[in-house]
């Protein structure tokens, strides 16, 4: 199967896993070793400013134009004590990986100290935890009609409200996901 890196997974309405119900996941990595992604539409209920304050990071440096209501997301069920910053390309961060498509994934504290300052990436989201799949697991879930896929785009990733990401992602395919059945028929 072709790599789904830089794609979104859109949960089918029939996906009754409480964690992934109506989820939109940005796929950061997908290869023979498995896949890793971040749920981009499940806020944890804390804003980035509060997270920085809890981590004793310099929140006093926050610029006036910083989105103080930027929400921290639950990125997935794996390693929820670990933070990830998915952001527009900006080099020189420790523990950063270029994902292509103008995006990077950074897991180091240095980027957190820059959020809200003029050194921050132009666009970013902060997530705790990630979604992971073992080899062939994601391919099987796709074959089981658990997910739809579309190429990722920056607008949906950064500019659409969290609660609007699932319906907007499905509409980008030309329909509303709730209208799709997971049942496969044979004529």
Task: Give residue limits of the domains in the chain.
Answer: 7-179
Predicted pLDDT of residue 1: 66
Predicted pLDDT of residue 21: 93
- The answer, yes or no, to whether residue 59 has pLDDT greater than 60, is no
User: Is 155 in a helix, a strand, or coil?
Assistant: helix
Q: Which residues of 126-165 are buried (b: 16+ CB within 10 A; e: fewer)?
A: bbbbbbbbeeeebeebeeeebbbbeebeeebbbebeeeeb
Residue range 75-103: mean pLDDT, rounded: 92
Predicted pLDDT of residue 160: 94
Pair type for strands 124-133 and 71-74: parallel
CATH code of 7-179, in short, is: 3.40.1740.10
Predicted pLDDT of residue 55: 79
Q: Which helix (H) or strand (E) holds 117?
A: none
Question: What CA–CA distances, in Å, run from 7 to 23, 25, 55, 106, 154?
Answer: 13, 8, 31, 18, 11
């Amino acid at each position: 199967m072709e790599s789904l890196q830089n794609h979104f997974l859109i949960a089918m309405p029939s996906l009754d896993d409480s964690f992934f119900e109506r989820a939109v996941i940005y796929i950061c990595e997908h290869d023979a070793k498995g896949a890793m992604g971040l749920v981009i539409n499940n806020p944890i209920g804390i804003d980035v400013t509060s997270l920085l304050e809890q981590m004793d990071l310099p929140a006093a440096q926050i610029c006036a134009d910083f989105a103080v209501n930027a929400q921290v997301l639950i990125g997935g069920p794996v390693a929820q004590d670990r933070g990830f910053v998915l952001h527009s390309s900006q080099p020189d961060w420790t523990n950063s990986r270029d994902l292509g498509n103008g995006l990077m994934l950074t897991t180091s504290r240095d980027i957190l100290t820059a959020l809200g300052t003029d050194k921050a990436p132009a666009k970013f989201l902060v997530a705790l935890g990630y979604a992971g799949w073992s080899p062939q697991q994601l391919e099987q879930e796709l074959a089981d009609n658990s997910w739809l896929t579309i190429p990722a785009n920056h607008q949906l990733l950064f500019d659409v409200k969290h609660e609007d990401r699932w319906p907007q992602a499905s509409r980008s395919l030309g329909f509303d996901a709730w209208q799709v059945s997971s049942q496969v028929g044979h004529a």
